[in-house]
Each structure stands twice: as structure tokens, then as C-alpha cells.
Amino acid sequence: MFFDKILIFSDRISELLWIKAIRKSFFALFPFILFGSLALVVTNFPVVSYQQAMLREFGTNWKVFAELLTNLTFGLLGLLLSGSVGYFTAILRTEKVQGINPGLAPLISMLSFLIIAVNLQFHPAEEWLRVDTLNQSNILLAIMSSIISAELFVFLLTVQKKKGWQWKHNPDADLKNAFEVLLPTFLTLIAFMLLRGALIAADIPDINQFLSEVLTSLFRHLHNPLLTGVCFTVLSQILWFFGLHGNNILFPIINGLFVDNLHANIAAVATDGVPPHIITKPFMDSFTMLGGSGATFCLLIAIFLSYRHKNSLRLAKLSLLPSLFNVNELVTFGLPIVLNPIFIIPFILVPVIMLLIAYLATAIGFMPRSITDVQWTIPIFLSGYKTTMSWHGVMIQAINLSVGTALYFPFLRLHHIKADNDFQKEYDRLVHLVQHQPTTKKLKLLKRRDILGQIACSLADEMEIALAKGEFFLVYQPLVNNQDQITCFEALLRWKHTRFGLIPPSLFITIAEESGQIHSIGLKVLEMATQQLAQWQQQGAKNLRVSINLSPLQLKNPQLPFQLTRLLQQTEIHPAAIDLEITEGLELGTDEITDRVITALSDLGLKLAIDDFGMGHTSLLYLRRYHFSKVKIDGSLIRNIDQEKHCQDIVSALVHLAVSQNFTVVAEYIERLQQQQILGSLGCHEYQGYLISEPLAADDCWEFIQKH
Ligand code: C2E
Ligand code: MG
Ligand code: MG
């Protein structure tokens, strides 16, 4: 119940345009974050001999050079994020709006962020762009300022368009664009200048510093060390959750309290006294931040143990090395944890519980107090030992790791459920897109670069194995004549996918056509259908036919007539017992190969039918030239034939024309007796639809035949 509520809440949040834009931005910046994490580990690798060797090899400046990589990634994270959040906000906001070009939005967002973030106390002006104003400590400011500026910019563009303040008759498109963004750009930047001016007037020259001062002032009134530790952890985690660098903002507390405590402990030991403090900086680093703030090492272990979700697993593998050295940006931004409501509870709770466990263990004397400075990049267990100089420190870390992993587990499950739900929604969108396409339009699903394209590509990749594993099978829908006798079964292909269940044929056939796998799948269909018909004929249904769907693309395969000849020989079926239905959806090729293949099929004695006739581009004359002898009237015309006069008129004209040209006429989508009666009176020969039967599993067909 509680978890359901979190899921619903998280669903609602992730539907928000801004949250979508933020998530997309974090993913877009993923390469930089990965790069920065690795650079951070390389520079701060906590092995003395390594550091000495690097110093020997490359001189004292090696760290400055190596830190360049970190400074250009994490160091500019605020700036980079402002650009990408501005970009995605503007793109999502104008997705369905025409005639607006938000291309400048990322740059405007970056400028707006700089207007708010640069530290005006630095002189000369070049110092404004110091890395510490543009780095990850300013993420929240970057996100907020870029959302506001992108929204404002798009809003102004829209107003301008509505009012018709556009330069209509300029032949130079670039110049026209430049003039169109002029006013919105000016106004957006001026709005941010005014905002900054107002903040300065309100005596807030630096927002981060202001926040830091307000928050640290809260701690002045706390005198209980445990309570201070808990409050610090909760606050720092909340800041991290919002993408703010908790340790930077709460630096005065870390420095003034936890570092001082350590020094007091060291001084006490030096004079043979008892260390007075439990909570020190190394204590906090080693026992509450396993793998970085939020103790995300536990989350990684939970991901490895659950081993279910490919994406999480991939991320966990990538982040394992940096996390070992307590660099966890990949996890916090990649999973992501930042601004993800599902993770806020364990993200705050786990470090607090770890703090309590470690505090208790020290208070009862199980674990010694910390008396040495330990670098924050020292890996788990080693840090536990170094901090306490005792194996008991390692044991407490192990306990904390287990407790933290167990606490992260249910929330990770929830995260996976949500990811699965989101994926299913995208899949449903893909199905909707395919089912509502105008028949002639080529979708080019595999060429799409969005999530729908990715799903289509992964389905294309899976097809071959699915075919081998038997996930594709045929169902059969009966056709009856005017005497209500079963004359034929149409073979309809199904794909029972392990994740999505039954995939609609319109989707997988489109994908198979685009990927070229339609030929191997089509051959499999021909094999299965002919073998099935042979079995029914052997069982006694001598005159039964089977109707098989072919994609127009299969008619471009010169091997098709040979494949069919072989199948007819193997199964000893008479060619006249097989109808080949070619759908009108895709245009029939007029090339020489198609011409030759169709002629060869007709020469074999197979009957050619045009499926979904009436909606596409083929005329009866054209069909006659190509040896077609049967038409299946499109279901959309039949569906309302008993309710709409004009449908009846169109079908009536089609049937008359087809009958006069000696075509056999089939009507599909018969769901009501009235439809069949009308079509009978118009001169149709065969009927197919739910009124007669839905498509049946092969095993059920024989029973159906016997009943009729
Ligand atoms: P189609 O060949 O026109 O098949 C008729 C479709 O209408 C089938 O959908 C069938 O289940 C559905 N149908 C039949 N009677 C009724 C009815 O009374 N009411 C309603 N609402 N629907 C009815 P299905 O099986 O989803 O197939 C969709 C399309 O996928 C087929 O249209 C065909 O173009 C294609 N397809 C199916 N199997 C194959 C195949 O093996 N190869 C190729 N190339 N295409 C196939
Ligand atoms: Mg068909
Ligand atoms: Mg059809």
C-alpha cells in the first residue's frame, strides 16, 4: 500500500515536463559524468606509492593537469546542465507547436544561469567565471534558472507569433530567424538581470553562500553530538537529493565541527588522554558514506544481487570502480537518484541508520574512536580499519553494508517496476503508432532515434532467436461460402514474446519488412501452413484450402516460386488449395522481378488474392494483368456496412465490378449476421469474421471443421 502510493506519486512526478527535461539532461550528460568520475579516481587514487610514482614520472604539476579533466566535466557540470536542461525544456514545450524555433534556448539558459550564479565579489571580471561557480555545487540553481529562462523564452516566442510580430517576407531564412529571436532573447536576459539585481538589493549576493549560512546557523543551537550528526546527515542527504553538493554547502559544519573533533581526539591521544569525540570527519566518511553520500555502495550491491534489470546492471558495473573510491556521481545522476522520489527515503534513511549503528558500537566500547585523518577516497573496509585502527571497524562497516543493502532493496524493486511500467507505456505507444498509420505511409521504425526506435530495433534483434525458439506460431481463421460450408482457413501469424506477450502482427510484420527478415519469417509461415493443410487433408478434409498472407516485399524474392514448388512437392498439396493474400497496404512493386515472381506463382497454379482491397492503390485492371483472381474487401468498409449507406454503396460498386471481371469476392470483418446478409445479396462468395469464428489454434480447428 505504502509502496503503491510511492509508485503513483513517482509516476505523477515523472509525467511533469520539467522532470522529463531534467532526466533527459542527466542522461545526455552521462558521458561527461563518467569521464569526470574516472578522472577523479585517477587523480585521488589512495595508494601512496602510486602518488609518489606519478610525482616522480610527471613532476609536481601532474595533478594540476590531471585535474583539468575533472574541472572540465564536474567543474562545469552546472553550466553544462543549464544548457541541456534549457534545450530539453524548450524542445518538449514546443513539441506540438509549429512555426517556433527554440534553437537558441540552450544558450539563453546558460547565460541566464551565469547571470544568477557568477560571484560578483571577485575582481577583476574574468574571475567571475571561476570553476567553483559553475560546478556541481550549483546544480539546483542551474536547473531552476534554465527551466525558467527556457520557458520564458518559448512563451515570448509564442506571444510574438500570435501577435504576428514576425518578419514575413524575408527570403533569407537565417536572417529571419535571427530577427525573430531578438526580442524574446532581450527580454529573457533582462528579466534575469532584474532578478539578480533584486537578490543583491535583498543582500543575497551569492545564493549558495546564503543557503550555506542559513543552514549552518541552524546547527549553532544543537549541543548533543549524536543529534548534530543525525541532523547533518539528513540535511546533507536532502541537499544531495536535489542535486546540491551537500558537503560543499555544509562545509562550515564539517570543518568547524567534525574536523575540530578529530583534532581534539588526536591531541588527547598525544597526551595519553581518552579521545573525547565519537563523531569526527573520518568517522562520518567511513561509516555513513559507504561508496559516497547516500551510502550508494549498498545500492550497487542490491543491484548486483537482484540481477534482473539489464540497464541498472550495466550502470552498476560501470560505477563499481569509482564507487570503490567513494565517487558516486554515476549512480546518483545515472540511475538517477537525484530528484527521483522513489529513492529519497532510503537515500536519507540508510546513512542515518548507519550513523546510529556506528555511534552505538563506539559508545558501548566495541569500536575505538577515530584518531587519524583518513582520506575520503580510501575504499570500504580499508577505511574502516584505518579510521579505528581495529578489525572491529571493518566489522561495523560490514554490518552497515548489509543493513544498507537490505534497506535499499525494496526501493530498488520499486524503481524497476516503474522502469518496466514506463517501458511498457512506450511499447504501447509504438503499437498505437503502427495500428493508426495511414496504410501507404512508410514508418521507418528502425531508423527512429527515440525510444520507440530503440524498442523496434531490439524486437528486430530478437526475431531470429524467437523464430528458432518457436515463439512464432500460426492461428487459423475459417472462411465460409454462401452455403455456410468451411472452404478455407486463413493462416495468421502470432509472436508470443516473453516480455510483451502477444505482439500485434502489424507491428512485427512492419519491423520484419524493414529489417529484411520478412523473407525468413515468410518462408517459415509457408512451411507451417502447408504442413498443417496437408495434415487436415489427410484427416479427410479433401477440399479444404489455406490462405497465406504475403508481404509485397516477398514478391521481390526470386527464390519464392522455387521455395513454394519444393513445399508443394514435400506436402503433396494441390496448388489450387493455396491462396496467397497480398496486402494492399504496401504498394505492389512494378519492377521486373516482382512481375516475374507473380507470373511464376500463377503458373504454378496458386491463387493470388489482394487483401484489404478498396483502400490502397491497386485497380482491378492492374490486378487482372498480374494474374490475381480474388479480392478481399477491406474490413474498414465492411465494419459499418449495415449502418452506413455510403459504405454499402462503395462496397456494392466494388463487388459488382469484381464479379463482372470474374474475381472471387471475399468479405472479412463479418461480426453481425446483417452484414453477411447484405454482402450475400450484393454477390459476395466467401465470408470471414468473428461471427463465424475468431482465429483458432491449429489444434482447435479440426474440432471446428467436424462441428460444421
Ligand atoms: P489481414 O490479412 O487482413 O487479416 C485479418 C485481420 O483481421 C486479422 O488480424 C484478424 O484477426 C482480424 N479479424 C478477422 N475477423 C475480424 C472481425 O470480425 N473483427 C475484427 N475486429 N477483426 C477481425 P491479425 O491477425 O491481427 O492480422 C493483421 C494483419 O497482419 C493481417 O491482416 C495481415 O496483413 C498481417 N499478417 C498476419 N499474418 C501474416 C503473415 O503470416 N504474413 C504477412 N506478411 N502478414 C501477416
Ligand atoms: Mg489476410
Ligand atoms: Mg485483410
- pLDDT for the residue numbered 5: 82
What is the 432 CA–ligand 2 centroid distance (Å)?
20
Residue range 21-49: mean pLDDT, rounded: 85
Q: Please say whether the beta carbons of 195 and 116 come within 8 A.
A: yes
- 146-171 pLDDT tens trace: 999 999 999 999 998 888 777 666 66
Between CA 332 and CA 29 the distance in angstroms is: 13
Residue 264 has pLDDT above 90, yes or no: yes
Residues with CB under 6 A from ligand 1: 477, 492-493, 504-506, 509, 525, 549-551, 581, 583, 611-612, 635, 668-671, 688-690, 695
What is the 256 CA–ligand 1 centroid distance (Å)?
74
What is the 688 CA–ligand 3 centroid distance (Å)?
10
Q: Residue 165 burial by CB count (10 A; 0-12/13-18/19+): exposed, middle or buried?
A: exposed
- Please compute, for residue 302, the number of CA atoms within 13 A of its CA located in the half-sphere on the CB side: 23
Please tell me which residue, 629 or 212, carries the higher pLDDT value.
Answer: 629
Residue range 182-207: mean pLDDT, rounded: 93
The per-residue pLDDT of the chain, averaged, comes to: 89
Residue 227 is which amino acid? L
Q: Which atom of ligand 1 is nearest to the CA of 688?
A: 15
Q: Residue 455 burial by CB count (10 A; 0-12/13-18/19+): exposed, middle or buried?
A: buried
- Please compute, for residue 81, the number of CA atoms within 13 A of its CA located in the half-sphere on the CB side: 28
Residue range 302-316: mean pLDDT, rounded: 87
Q: Which residues sit with Cβ closer than 5 angstroms to ligand 2, an ion?
A: 549, 581, 611
What is the 490 CA–ligand 3 centroid distance (Å)?
10
pLDDT-derived band at 189, boundaries 50, 70, 90: very high
Q: Residue 467 burial by CB count (10 A; 0-12/13-18/19+): exposed, middle or buried?
A: middle
What is the 492 CA–ligand 1 centroid distance (Å)?
6
pLDDT-derived band at 216, boundaries 50, 70, 90: confident
> In 352-438, which ranges are E strands?
none
- pLDDT for the residue numbered 122: 64
Alpha helix locations (H) across 30-181? Answer: 30-44, 48-58, 62-73, 77-93, 105-117, 131-134, 139-163, 173-180
Residue range 119-136: mean pLDDT, rounded: 67
**Three-state SS across 439-499?**
CCCCCCHHHCCCHHHHHHHHHHHHHHHHHHHCCEEEEEEEEEECCCCEEEEEEEEEEEECC
Pocket probe for ligand 1: among 439, 496, 503, 549, the residue whose CB has the most ligand atoms within 8 Å is 549
Pocket probe for ligand 1: among 525, 631, 668, the residue whose CB has the most ligand atoms within 8 Å is 668
- 469-510 pLDDT tens trace: 999 999 999 999 999 999 999 999 999 999 999 999 999 999
Q: Which atom of ligand 1 is nearest to the CA of 691?
A: 18
